[in-house]
Structure 1
Amino acid sequence: MSKDIKETFWKSLADSPYVMIGLTGERDHNIPMNAQLDKYANSAFWFFTSTDNRIAPGGPAMAQFSSKGHDLFACIAGTLRTETDRTVLDKLWNNSIEAWYEGGKSDPKLVLLRFDLDNAEIWTADASLKGLFKMATGLTMKEGELGQHAEVAL
C-alpha cells in the first residue's frame, strides 16, 4: 500500500505543486509556496524565495499538502537548506519565477531552498461504494472504507 500511496502523492503534487510550509518549532504561521519538482529527485523539492522570507534561514520544517481534487492530503517532514548548486537553479528557473525577481537569477534577494524530505503521513479520500453507502445511511465506518492512510519514508 505505501508504494501506491507514495506514487499517488507524487502525481498529485505534480498536478498542483502548492504547499503550506513552516519551520518546525516556530510560532509563525505556515506560508503558501510553489514547490519546484524534478522528476528525477524523489526525495526533495525546491522553493524560490527571498532572503527576507521567514523560511529563508532553513532548518527542520513541515509542509502540508491538499491535492487539487481534495482526494489526497499529506503532512511532510523534512529539512530546508539553501541550494548552492547553480545548475539546479538554472534547471528550475522559468518565466513565472523570473516575474518575482527584478534582478533575475542575479537578484541579491533571491534564494533557492531545497526541502530534503524525511517522511510523510498521507491520506487518500477515495470512498468505496460500501463506504459511501455507510456514510449516507449513518452506519459505522471502518478503516479503509473512506480511503487509505500511510506513514511513508520519502
Structure 2
Amino acid sequence: MADTHEIKQTMWDRMAQSPFVMVGLEEGGHSEPLTAQLDRDQVDTLFFFIGKDNRLAGGGKAMAQFVSKGHDFFACLAGTVAVDNDFAMIDKLWNKQAEAWFPGGKSDPNLALLRFDIDDAELWESDVSISGRVKMLLGGTIKPSEAGSHARVSTTAA
C-alpha cells in the first residue's frame, strides 16, 4: 500500500503518460474530454487549450476525472476553472497537439487557456497483490491491504 506522497506522485506520473481528463462544471452539464497541459512549476493546477465558445470558458466550480492508460489509477479532482490567457503560459505549454486544434496558432482568435485550480482530490491506485488476484480468480474476499491504495488529499503536490 502506497503512502500519500507516493500516490500523489503516481497521479502526476500517470497523467504525464496519458493526459486525458474528463472535465465538467458542477452547475450542470456533462463533462467533456480535454487534454491536460502539465506544468511541473504549478502546484495543484492543470491547464487546457479550449475554444472561447467552450461551455467551460464561463468558469466556475468544476470536477475532473482521470483514469490512467492501464486502468490502474483513478482520480477525482475538485476545483475551479477560469480562462487565464497569460501569453507566457500559452507559449510555455504550446505543442503540436494544440496547433492541430487551433490553426491560427498561439494567436488564434478562438484560443483560450483554461486553468483548473485543484482544491482537493480523491485518488485510487489499483495494485492488487498476488494473493488478492488469486482470490479474485477463485471468488475469495479481498482484504483492504490486498486491494491497493486510496487517499483523500487537500493538495496534489508530491
Q: Distance in 1 between matches of 2:96 and 2:153?
A: 34
1:50 maps to which residue? 51
2:140 maps to which residue? 139
2:126 is aligned with 1:125? yes
1:10 maps to which residue? 12
Q: CA RMSD in A?
A: 1.1
2:70 is aligned with 1:69? yes
How many angstroms does 1:102 deviate by?
A: 2.8
Q: Quick one: which of 22, 25, 32 aligns to 1:23? A: 25
SS of alignment partner, residue 87 of structure 1: helix
SS of alignment partner, residue 144 of structure 1: helix
TM-score (norm 1): 0.94
Q: Distance in 2 between matches of 1:153 and 1:74?
A: 13
2:154 maps to which residue? 153
Moved over 2 A (4+): none
Indicate the percent of aligned positions where both proteins have the same amino acid: 52
How many angstroms does 1:144 deviate by?
A: 2.9
How many angstroms does 1:133 deviate by?
A: 1.8
SS of alignment partner, residue 39 of structure 2: coil
Question: 1:96 is aligned with what amino acid?
Answer: Q
Larger displacement relative to structure 2 (104-113 or 5-14): 104-113
> What are the ranges of 5 or more consecutive residues in structure 2 without an aligned counterpart?
none
TM-score (norm 2): 0.92
Question: 1:4 is aligned with what amino acid?
Answer: E
2:105 is aligned with 1:104? yes
Question: 2:84 is aligned with what amino acid?
Answer: E
Q: Distance in 2 between matches of 1:84 and 1:96?
A: 18
Q: How many residues were matched structurally?
A: 153
Larger displacement relative to structure 2 (111-120 or 98-107): 98-107
